[in-house]
Amino acid sequence: MSVFTPLTDAQIATVLAGAGRQLVSATPAEHGMENSNFLLRAVDADQQPADCVLTVFEATPAALLPWFCQLLDTLAAAGLPVPAPLAVDGERVLTVAGKPALLVPWLPGQHPRTADAPQCRAIGAALATLHNTPFASEHPHQQDATGLQALAPAIAALPRLRLRAADLWQRWQQLSLPRTLIHGDLFRDNSLFQGDTLTGLLDFYAAGHGPALFDLAVCLNDWCMPGGQRDAALEAALLAGYNGQRPLAIDEREHLHTARCVAALRFWLSRLEARQRHRAAGDPDLVLSKDPAECEHWLATLLDSPA
């Protein structure tokens, strides 16, 4: 279970009371690698459903959270289904168990276990809308929204594909691609759907400014490789949705395959790092839902497939 800061029902009820809500039940989320998330069934003063999600941040400092609040407000104004933070006693940046936290609405829908073509088209269009959204405010402390700069030294310790990964990283560094606001982590479990209708985009805590192509590559890998194999129909649907809102530039089309390899490498490295970090802390089974081998397989498949 990916909860690092346990909370009692009494602690959660106190938070909800400040938002005019009453706790019905609290369930720790079983996914995630960095923060503690609690799914809260609640009612408002009229006893109407008012469910929400409480995120307790394990490493993100409180000083950064106003930036995320501003970002989510901007994306909501652009028409994207994002959970803009709620006010608790007039404040949106909270302190819970001595750590910074946000309370957001629980959006309807389910995470797609596997994606179909209409869902891929919808997520592609939503991602392009995000990339088209003006947001001049730079992340206060983030130098590399892709996370690759910090992880690159770990390439030397990879169990295999080390030389090909090092060559890939060098080629990626030499590229100069269009930069936009990016989500940075738009896997299927950071979306919600009701049928084929997109109802939620979640977890913007890796967001920042970076190559739009990297963000698109992350989506293509997770959404369009069922069983670790490329699915041409799903890829075509996602790209059609994206290009309908933000047509790829010539250099982006040329380097899309490289970006997909880089995205697979980045999440292989980050999952390995997270697993090692939690094992070193004495929590070998804490992160169960993010298997590094999945991204390793993506990378091997992509490296051996035509662009």
Question: Residues 67, 133: one domain?
Answer: no
Question: Residues 96, 121: one domain?
Answer: no
Q: Domain tally for the chain?
A: 2
How much of the chain is in helix, strand and coil states, percent to nearest 5? 45, 15, 40
Q: Please tell me the predicted confidence (pLDDT) of residue 208.
A: 95
Q: Please tell me the predicted confidence (pLDDT) of residue 287.
A: 45
Question: Residues 187, 297: one domain?
Answer: yes
Residue 1 is assigned to a structural domain of this protein: no
| CA distances in angstroms from 72 to 82, 117, 130, listed in the order given | 6, 27, 11
- The C-alpha atoms of residue 165 and residue 116 are separated, in whole angstroms, by 30
Q: Which of 74, 105, 136 is the last residue of a domain?
A: 105
Q: Please tell me the predicted confidence (pLDDT) of residue 30.
A: 73
Q: Which of 82, 105, 128 is the last residue of a domain?
A: 105
Q: Please tell me the predicted confidence (pLDDT) of residue 31.
A: 66
Q: Please tell me the predicted confidence (pLDDT) of residue 2.
A: 59
Residue 47 is assigned to a structural domain of this protein: yes
Bridge partners (DSSP) of residue 57 are: none
Question: Residues 15, 136: one domain?
Answer: no
Q: Which of 72, 105, 138 is the last residue of a domain?
A: 105
Question: Residues 221, 266: one domain?
Answer: yes
Residue 78 is assigned to a structural domain of this protein: yes
Question: Residues 264, 176: one domain?
Answer: yes
Q: What is the pTM of this model?
A: 0.91
Q: Please tell me the predicted confidence (pLDDT) of residue 32.
A: 60
Question: Residues 169, 298: one domain?
Answer: yes
Question: Residues 157, 281: one domain?
Answer: yes
Per-residue pLDDT of the chain (307 residues; tens, 9 = 90+): 456 899 999 999 999 999 999 999 999 987 666 789 999 999 999 999 999 999 999 988 999 999 999 999 999 999 999 999 999 999 999 999 999 999 999 999 999 999 999 999 999 999 999 999 999 898 988 888 999 999 999 999 998 999 999 999 999 999 999 999 999 999 999 999 999 999 999 999 899 999 999 999 999 999 999 999 999 999 999 999 999 999 999 999 999 999 999 999 999 999 999 888 767 666 555 544 578 999 999 999 999 998 7
Q: Please tell me the predicted confidence (pLDDT) of residue 282.
A: 63
Question: Residues 257, 189: one domain?
Answer: yes
CATH code of 142's domain: 3.90.1200.10
Domain residue limits at 36: 9-105
State phi, psi for 36 to the nearest 5 degrees: -100, 125
CATH code of 74's domain: 3.30.200.20
Bridge partners (DSSP) of residue 56 are: 36, 101
Question: Residues 255, 180: one domain?
Answer: yes
